[in-house]
Amino acid sequence: MDKLSSLIYEDSKAAYKNIDLGPIIGKTVLITGASGLLGTYLLATLKRLSEKGISKVRVIAVAHNNFLPFQKYFLDYSGAKIIKGDVTDQNFYRRLPVADYIIHAAGYASPGLFMQDPVKTLKIGTLGTFSLFNKLRPKGKFIFISSSEVYSGSKNVPHKETDIGTTNTDHPRSCYIEAKCCGEAICNAFRSREVDAKSARLSLFYGPGTKPGDKRVLNSFIEKALSGNISMLDQGHAKRTYCYITDTVEIVWKILIDGKEPIYNVGGQSKTTIRELAKKIGKNLNASVTFPKKNENKLAGAPEDVWLNMTKVEKEFGKNDYVSLEDGLARTINWQKELYRTMGQK
């Protein structure tokens, strides 16, 4: 096991010890978007289960992009299989095996990427979701990885699962927002047929496991700080609440296996502004932080406040302990430093 894999594997212990994966023993688990940050930690927890010697879980890791060496370690055991392809390609999805548990996590989480190809973004949430339900075994369980972006335009923070946004279909991020809303609607339509399907509205999860050049704000700040300076696009007054990846993956597993409700928020408790986040990262890496005089480069459609109400998850699953932003940042920065050192880029 290389150092990058080791750091993630050790980190995943925190999530693994808080979840009961017993129900999936002897079953087939299919994960789309398996090469992403969430997918990497899902695979790390399944790797831990496999090493108990009782697993016999068949894992199908579906990804559009290649797995990096540190990720492949989590698929290096009997029963795990990588399938590379596009879930919006009907010929590809027909080749996928049926599964008892499906986690649909495909798609970009970075606005800069999901806005580049709006048609593809919409297809992943709609056509891809419909197609995957055809691969779910009777009495199987399905979770659609949605997003806090569905709350875009709402001023009611922290957002509850009963809330919804107010954006129109010509919003700069509408391809992503509407894809997530439609994916949730598809899940609820199948629930009316007594299929165990849930949607998890994830918000600003972060941690070790991203790829070089990741465009999400937090990772981009770390990459810039490693070069000595974080040059801000605006004054950074927007508010954000971050959720460390081990908390995220723990909640997602619990929703999939034991969740009874159709929709759950998945967020954290570490509230900050983009400005404060940049300064924390800059201080950690001894890098300067510079701000423009005007907010001319602000990303189109970015919300002013992203904060989820976690009452449902906390009551139903007893989740009350979250990794602090300071601790999570330290782990993420250490991992990302090793990533760029290994890749020879910093």
pTM of this prediction?
0.96
d(CA 155, CA 152): 9
How does pLDDT run across 80-127, given as a tens digit for each residue?
A: 999 999 999 999 999 999 999 999 999 987 777 778 899 999 999 999
Q: What residues contact residue 311 under an 8 Å CB cut-off, 6+ apart? A: 160
**Count of C-beta atoms within a 10 Å radius of residue 267:** 26
Please state the domain extents for the chain. 3-206+244-268+307-323
Task: Provide the pairing of β-strand 239-244 with 270-273.
Answer: antiparallel
Residue type at position 61: A
- Indicate if the alpha-carbon torsion angle 219, 222, 226, 232 is positive or negative: positive
Q: Is the distance from CB of 31 to CB of 59 less than 8 angstroms?
A: yes
The tokens describing 281, both together, are 């990262």
Query: Backbone phi, then psi, for 253, in 5-degree steps?
Result: -60, -45
> Residue 346: what pLDDT?
47
Strand order in the sheet with 263-266: 80-84, 58-63, 28-32, 99-104, 136-147, 196-202, 263-266
The tokens describing 11, both together, are 């980190």
Out of 3.40.50.1360, 3.40.190.10, 3.40.50.920, 3.40.50.720, select the CATH number for domain 3-206+244-268+307-323.
Answer: 3.40.50.720
- Would you say residue 13 has pLDDT above 80? yes
For residue 174, the Cα-to-chain-centroid distance in whole angstroms is: 19
> Residue 159: what pLDDT?
98
Percent of the chain with pLDDT over 90: 88
How does pLDDT run across 49-63, given as a tens digit for each residue?
A: 998 876 689 999 999
